[in-house]
Amino acid sequence: MSKKLEGKVAIVIGAAGRDNMGQVIAQRFAREGARVVVAGRSIGELERFAGTIGGAAKACDITRKDEVLALFDFAGNWGGQVDIAVNATGWGLLKGFTDTTEDELDRITELQFKGPFYFFQAAVDTLARGGSIIQISSATATIMLNDHAAYMGTKAGTDHVVRCVAHEYGERGIRANSISPGLTDTPMTAGAKDVPGLFDSFLSGYPLGRIGTKEDIAAAAVFLASDECFMTGQNLQVNGGLTLRRNPTREEIQAAVASAGAGQA
């Protein structure tokens, strides 16, 4: 059976956390035949991980345009023409609306809006023969969750930039799409998963009856990256139908956690 990404070169930024979503996407790309450059802020973990998939590692802070440009240059020199660019960076800021500080707004805007903008700029300047740009977004860019406004707003804004890229660069064969997970079992949500009852409070919102996995997102990314994909400017809701319903309210989460705690007492 032929591999879906055979002969392609991919960049995955946001892969510096062990077993995070970026690493799982990169692993799946490598299994499908791609040569993968993984990037992020922690070069030690990136180099360890790259060695496991036969890839290459490059330190890159997505909020620094010079580093983003250097990443694409590095990937081209290492693997040849870049075909796929995935942004899996993010910061799961949970903060009350009026409690969110100016510093936090600056940091999350840098990471989740300006940085992706730089990444997309570098990608469209590099993907000369077409290819795929993939942004990892969030179901909360579409549906509500308490204490998440800065995260949700920056993700939603970047989704619209993805649509702009798709509109302006489609004539060059460049596809640009987002993937929106719901609550997913990742290192970023490890603290929440450790709270008894918290994950369970979300389950009723999923028509398919389970919390999503990193592998679900990686499978969708493979499709978007492959030549089989005739789709651009779209936001794939890879979240088990969550956006058909809703996330739990703050009160519902608190009640589920309290009930689980009482059951363990």
Alpha carbon distance 116, 86 (integer Å): 10
Residue 206 and residue 240 in contact, taking contact as beta carbons nearer than 8 Å = yes
Nearest-5° Cα angle at 88, 86 to 91: 155
Within the chain, residue ranges assigned H as helices are 21-31, 43-53, 65-79, 102-109, 115-126, 149-169, 190-193, 214-225, 250-264
Q: How many CB atoms are closer than 10 A to CB 237?
A: 20
* Sequence-ordered list of residues with C-beta below 8 angstroms from that of 212, at least 6 positions apart, any chain: 181, 182, 183, 184, 185, 238, 239, 240
Please confirm, yes or no, whether 118 is among the known catalytic residues.
no
Q: How many CB atoms are closer than 10 A to CB 207?
A: 11
Q: Which residue among the candidates 118, 151, 169, 206 is catalytic per the annotation? A: 151
What are the phi and psi torsion angles at 123 (to 5°)?
A: -65, -45
Alpha carbon distance 58, 13 (integer Å): 9
Alpha carbon distance 24, 153 (integer Å): 26
Element (H, E) at 57: strand 56-59
Alpha carbon distance 212, 243 (integer Å): 13
Place of tokens 């400017």: 233
Enzyme catalytic residues: 151
